[in-house]
Amino acid sequence: MNISAKKYFPIFVLPTLIAFLISFAVPFIMGLALSFTQFTTVTDATFVGFDNYIKAFSEDTGFLSSLWFTVKFSLISVLSINVIAFSLALLLTRSLPGTNIFRTVFFMPNLIGGIVLGYIWQVIINGILYNFQYSITSNESFGFWGLIILMNWQMIGYMMIIYIAGIQNIPTDITEAAKVDGANSFTTLFKIIIPSVMPSITICLFLTITNSFKLFDQNLSLTAGAPSGRTEMLALNIYNTFYGRVGYEGVGQAKAVVFFIIVALISLIQLNITRRKEVES
Amino acid sequence: MFKKRVLSFILALISIITCLSLAGCGEKDNAAQVYFLNFKPESAAAYEELAQKYEEEKGIKVKVVTAAANTYEQTLKSEIAKTNAPTIFQVNGPIGYDAWDDYCLDIKDSQLYSFLSDKSLAIMDDGGVYAIPYVVEGYGIIYNNDILNKYFALKDRQTEINSTKEIKNFESLKTVVEDMTKHKDKLGIKGVFASTSLTTGEDWRWQTHLLNIPLYYEASQINKDTDPTLNLLDAKNIEYKYSKNFENIFDLYVNNSSTAKTLLGSKSVADSMAEFALGEVAMVQNGNWAWSQISGVKGNTVKADAIKMLPIYTGIEGEESQGICVGTENYLAINKNSTKEQQKASLDFLEWLFSSSTGKKYVTEELNFITPFNTFNEDELPDDPLAREISRYMNDNSLKSIPWVFTAMPSENYKKSIGSDLLDYVQGNKTWDDVRKTIIDKWKDESK
């Protein structure tokens, strides 16, 4: 078995490995290197040391305010998405008529691309706000809540499917035993269902946190940072730094590296914490 | 076991074939000697056709790629790093040249440069010529003469002005516009001016084009003997003393608009042009490139011969002799890093485009360009109402055109922050003084 696995390694793993190297590892290392340089295109660069990192934080390029906005956004959207998705999953795992149709319907928004969703919601939100002589750019809180609604609408269905799979995997003997022992639905939920679906919670939290932090398309098409960059999230801020000013490509790159470290750190900590709570059923 | 081996062999074979065929695609591209990265999405179809014509005539393949609106810099950045990089690309003026100077070929000895009627228009650096403008454009206040005439025919209008010829300064423009707003129901319009589009990316008519006017007057006073654009390029600080004049015209646009102030943040340029084309408004600030947008609107009611243009008056002394804003931000450059053959083929293509009869026909009729080249006769001009207005103003010796000094603005970020400030201003979150401060401070920050 071991020998044949070795023998077939080039055939089965190599293509994926090459693809991984070309499309992930090489760009990642290049990006890291470029953050220490000044460049116009990725093939010509001059080394400038930590200059870009200093500029990224010290100058008024909106990095810190974007970071704060992103953190606020992520907190609220992660909470609301997971709570709503889990409640829906609970509802749709009961033997009610039409659950399959509802599952499909809730999942569908996830199949639409972010840019399209952003424009659709821009039209919807503006359509409502027009009645009060406002538009989505009138106030940053409109943009903020618009993004939250949009993100919820898109992600809930996906997370719901994961939770449904988790709930359906709970062995029925446990729930039946609980019922026989006289546990009410509240106790069943907190003592049996939630601990049993901990693996699903881990993955759902991971997906929502990283997706909220990395949100770009939806942000670009819904508000594009208006008014005055007050609804600009980190990814969009990096993009604007990169293309907004000659000689600032490296600063954008430096911000991207910082961004990567933040997202990686937060998701690693989250994975560690929630993994510890997982139980063997 | 044998079967497995055969299977794995077949799989390996398939993957090798795929790799080869992908590489094959890459090679096909190589056959294109000329690769033109086009800036103008509205001309994409015309360029494609042109490339085919050229291949039929000369047997040389021209590849045309068009960057989507507002993404030229991004596209160029990624395309030029490729092995098959564009051989012809575009820079948007002296600031754009700064970013790409390592890639621009010196084309001082080319025929294309010799075509240029005014040699000073080219971008020069240390005695070399690196980029050549290929189209002259102009902007001002486009108006619908039918609606204006309707207004002048009104019995109860309260102005002394009897025709658009008498609108010669900001004062007269303002009185006419404000009186028209009072009579807008009678005139059948929603507002005098089309929406002041302030969505991010749709605000260039204000943060770039309109700001050009106060900046020009300031720049021409820094040193009267030198070119105002060069004056601005050297300026590390600006005084921005015509802030009041910018406010004059901007307020006039916003207060007499078809759209409420608070909704301007959701309007695009296309929205404004559609309002104008449908006859819902009488005036809109834009340039001759907008003709395709006006004529392309379904069910448009504005007649081609009723479309005229006025200079943008802001209340600066002596503006009676001011013309429209004429200039260019479209400069062609040849890629220094492409092969000698490619460079020659690229220049040949451009020279063919701007001097052969087929090429010139496309330039005037399909691309609608007014070119700065002496290979074009006076009767070889595009035949759309806005281009005709531009030529009329350019040929009127009593009026002085305003050059496009905005090509000296320090960065895209600079324009962007002014755009966001203007949006905040109309929505009441910032005062005009805040906008003024941004215009001055950001200039200093961004030109460091």
Q: Is B427 an interface residue toward A (CB < 8 Å)?
A: yes
How large is the average pLDDT for residues A193-213?
A: 90
- Taking an 8 Å cut-off on Cβ atoms, the answer to whether A138 and B102 are in contact is no
Is the pLDDT at A216 greater than 80? The verdict is: yes
What pLDDT, on the 0 to 100 scale, is given for residue B64? Answer: 92
Closest CA of chain B from A139, distance in Å: 9
In DSSP terms, B129 is beta-bridged to B124
B61 and B115 fall within a common domain: yes
| Domain tally, chain B | 2
B152 and B289 fall within a common domain: yes
Q: Is residue B203 part of a domain?
A: yes
- Asked if B314 contacts B394 with a C-beta cutoff of 8 angstroms, the reply is no
CATH 1.10.3720.10 domain span(s) along chain A = 58-277
Q: In the structure, how many helices (H) and strands (E) does chain A have?
A: 15, 2
Q: Is A243 an interface residue toward B (CB < 8 Å)?
A: yes
B76 and B213 fall within a common domain: no
B317 and B237 fall within a common domain: yes
Rounded Cα distance between B93 and B79, Å, is 20
Q: Is residue B269 part of a domain?
A: yes
Tens-place pLDDT, residues A66-108: 999 999 999 999 999 999 999 999 888 888 888 888 888 888 8
- Taking an 8 Å cut-off on Cβ atoms, the answer to whether A228 and B417 are in contact is yes
Tokens representing A102 are 């509802």
Tokens representing B389 are 């207005």
Enumerate residue ranges in chain B where pLDDT < 70. 1-32
What pLDDT, on the 0 to 100 scale, is given for residue B27? Answer: 43
- Taking an 8 Å cut-off on Cβ atoms, the answer to whether A43 and B98 are in contact is no
- Asked if B394 contacts B326 with a C-beta cutoff of 8 angstroms, the reply is yes
User: Shortest CA distance to B245 belongs to which of B151, B325, B319, B298?
Assistant: B319
B128 and B272 fall within a common domain: no
- Asked if A233 contacts A219 with a C-beta cutoff of 8 angstroms, the reply is yes
Is the model's pTM score more than 0.90?
no
Average pLDDT score over chain A: 87
B219 and B81 fall within a common domain: no
B429 and B280 fall within a common domain: yes
- DSSP H or E run through B401: strand B400-402
Q: Is residue B1 part of a domain?
A: no
Rounded Cα distance between A135 and A222, Å, is 11
How large is the average pLDDT for residues A148-175?
A: 90
Mutate to test the interface with B, among A138, A233, A236, A248 (most CBs of B within 10 A): A138
C-alpha distances out from residue B124 to A272, B98, B103, B133, B348, Å: 60, 11, 14, 12, 21
B272 and B151 fall within a common domain: yes
Mutate to test the interface with A, among B100, B200, B427, B445 (most CBs of A within 10 A): B200
What pLDDT, on the 0 to 100 scale, is given for residue A279? Answer: 67
Q: What are φ and ψ of residue B338, in 5° steps?
A: -80, 170
Is the pLDDT at A190 greater than 60? The verdict is: yes
What pLDDT, on the 0 to 100 scale, is given for residue B11? Answer: 58
What pLDDT, on the 0 to 100 scale, is given for residue B23? Answer: 47
Q: Is residue B5 part of a domain?
A: no
In DSSP terms, A260 is beta-bridged to none
More confident residue, A228 or B282: B282
Range of the domain at B273: 138-326+388-446
Rounded Cα distance between A277 and B83, Å, is 52
φ/ψ bin of B154: left (φ > 0), alpha (ψ from -120 to 50), beta (otherwise): beta
Lowest-confidence segment of A3-12, A200-209, B159-168, B305-314 by average pLDDT: A3-12
Burial B13-32 (b: 16+ CB within 10 A, else e): eeeeeeeeeeeeeeeeeeeb
Q: Which residue has the tokens 């090679």?
A: B27
Closest in B98, B201, B263 to A224, CB measured? B201
What pLDDT, on the 0 to 100 scale, is given for residue B29? Answer: 47
Closest CA of chain A from B265, distance in Å: 6
B51 and B109 fall within a common domain: yes
Closest CA of chain A from B298, distance in Å: 21
Query: Which CATH number characterizes residue B356's domain?
Result: 3.40.190.10
Q: Is residue B183 part of a domain?
A: yes
Q: Which of chain A's residues have a Cβ under 8 Å away from the Cβ of B78? A: 41
What pLDDT, on the 0 to 100 scale, is given for residue B28? Answer: 44
Give the CATH number of domain A58-277. Answer: 1.10.3720.10
Sheet holding B88-91, edge to edge: B62-66, B34-38, B88-91, B331-334, B128-133, B123-125
Q: Is residue B14 part of a domain?
A: no
Side-chain half-sphere of A88: how many Cα atoms within 13 Å? 25
Pairing of strands B62-66, B88-91: unpaired
